[in-house]
Amino acid sequence: MLLCPVIGKLQHKRVVLASSSPRRREILSNAGLRFEVVPSRFKEKLHKASFATPQAYAVETAKQKALEVADRMYQKDLRAPDVVIGADTIVAVGGLILEKPVDKQDAYRMLSRLSGKEHSVFTGVAIVHCCTKDGQLDTEVSEFYEETTVKFSELSEEMLWEYIDSGEPMDKAGGYGIQALGGMLVEYVRGDFLNVVGFPLNRFCKELAHLYHGPRAHGAPRQVQHDSIPAVDTFEDLSDAEGGGSDPARANEGLEPCGAQPQAPRPREADLNGVTDSQPPLPVGLLELMDGFKASKALLTACKLQVFDVLKERGPLAAADVAREIGASVGGTARLLDVCAALGLLDKSDRGYSNTEMASLHLASDGEQSLHGLAAYHDGPVWGAFTHLGWAVREGAAWTPEPLPQAPHKWSTEATLQFMRASHGLSKLTAQHVATAFDLSPFTSACHLGGCTGALAHKLVQEYPRLQVTIFALPEVIKLAGDFETNARPSERVHFVPGDLSSDSLPPADLYIVCSLLHDWPDDRLHGLLSRVSGCCKPGAGLLLAELAPAEEEDASGAARRPPGLRALGVGRPPRNPGQYQRLLQRLGFQDVQAACAAGLLHVVLGTRAPP
């Protein structure tokens, strides 16, 4: 409630957060601020040695991020947002700036340096007010930083690598996330906890109070402040919508950013108890949900028309050139390209349109980690099935086509290939993370049940030189598997064995692996399959499960951040969490059951039978 008057001041303004950080978005959303998210494309390559202090570097980076977004939005629409917020969080120890680690070894170096010591977390924030003067973008920048001191416990090698292998350090400044697993490394925090998470909300509120109100006149009444939180009446003078008091002198104390005069205060209506009657907030999130399918369809259509392939090979290109390459109208192509640019999939410049790094890597069909097959699967059978969702709900039918392992007799060769392309893209993307979530070196033989094209199997034999992997898959899948690239040399330690999961005997192995299948299975089939696997496991054998992380857990821990549509790829059932799988495996006789989050996308669970 403390922020309501500040939000009232901003509610008629277009506010943009120039950051893709889900943590910053969550902090500001929880405070009641309504804003758009436009991630900055500013390349964070400022020369650190040229700055006198780490905080100066963080503030300058935040400012450049915000200015880049303001300028890009103005160039695109000839109209800039009213306010752009930029932020940059760094960790500093002994004058050395630590940003996000580039790989596991870099994360190890960072965390080793922090072990047992105090360090500072700085977040630089820039609030850029935009307006148009003489046909040009004009900006005024307010900037500040917040410092929080954090002390790490002494960290053992085992704890360091266990945390690094969880995948959490890789997108965090300093290599840790205090709001999730990284909180276990912290002995104490002195200062603003949210600053360590990624945004200093308390200081931000004070800056807004200063910007939109300015200093009080001498002798003006003032409420007593407690701790460091601004007093409520400080904020009550800020809102145009909710009034700024009856004193006309005070009403004109400050100017709006960019020189605009404050709006005249409107009267406030109060009930009998003197409580302000405020309007409910607009359901922005609900409106975004209703409109979100359009963005998905634009992405899927661009993939289908090979837009990202054309631009990867020949970009930047003008809309007319892209239209000619894909055999479409110029006007329709230009609209599609503009939408993709607005979604952050393409870059638009005077030279034309070009792929972002993400688009070339994941959306072009020949990308090393291409998800083009997954896009085609969603655009085809999944989209078609969801078009008839009302019928499926009324009839109690599955929301999407039954997965291939459950209903192979219903799939044509082309449909089987489409499913395999989708599975192959997702497997290549996640194979490294699944293979290294736990140390699997004690096992010498593994059986990947429903292993499809073998992407994970080849990654496993790369990581573990003693391991032999058998892929147990349907005969029709094995026949087509040779057409897929696995980014690995063919290995004599990878074998395909034909069979049906629901009826055929399972090949013997020390370790059984089930990945990205179980979210589509009803409870009875899941228990049946895992019971069969359990019956094949000798003492010392293991069972490795990897599934998409439930969206509900993302909000609670901040560790898994993925699009909501991935929470139920198949049938719309509530996703299972690691605790459910742990309890199930324990009931099946696996005494040692561990769970890990891999790359913020997957939950990986390993159960091991007690050795003899």
Residues with active-site annotation: 88
Q: Which residues of 554-575 are buried (b: 16+ CB within 10 A; e: fewer)?
A: beebbbbbbeeeebbbbbeeeb
Contacts of 235 (CB under 8 A, 6+ apart): 2, 3, 4, 5, 6, 205, 209
Contacts of 154 (CB under 8 A, 6+ apart): 115, 116
Query: How far from the centroid of its chain's Cα atoms is residue 250's Cα?
Result: 44
Distance of alpha carbon 91 from alpha carbon 176, whole angstroms: 10
Give me the torsion for CA of 590, 592, 593, 599, rounded to 10°: -140
Q: Beta partners for 276? A: 270
Residue 217 has what DSSP assignment?
P
Residue 511 has what DSSP assignment?
E
Burial class (CB in 10 A: 0-12, 13-18, 19+), 383: middle
Q: HEC states along 291-356? A: HHHHHHHHHHHHHHCCHHHHHHHHCCECHHHHHHHHCCCHHHHHHHHHHHHHCCCEEEECCEEEEC
The torsion region of residue 558 among left (phi > 0), alpha (psi -120 to 50) and beta comes to left
Determine the 3-state secondary structure of 593 from DSSP: strand
Contact 194, 201 (CB under 8 A): yes
Structure tokens given for 436: 């290294």
- Among 230, 213, 233, 220, smallest CA distance to 9 is for 213
Determine the 3-state secondary structure of 584 from DSSP: helix
Stretch (H or E) spanning 152: strand 136-152
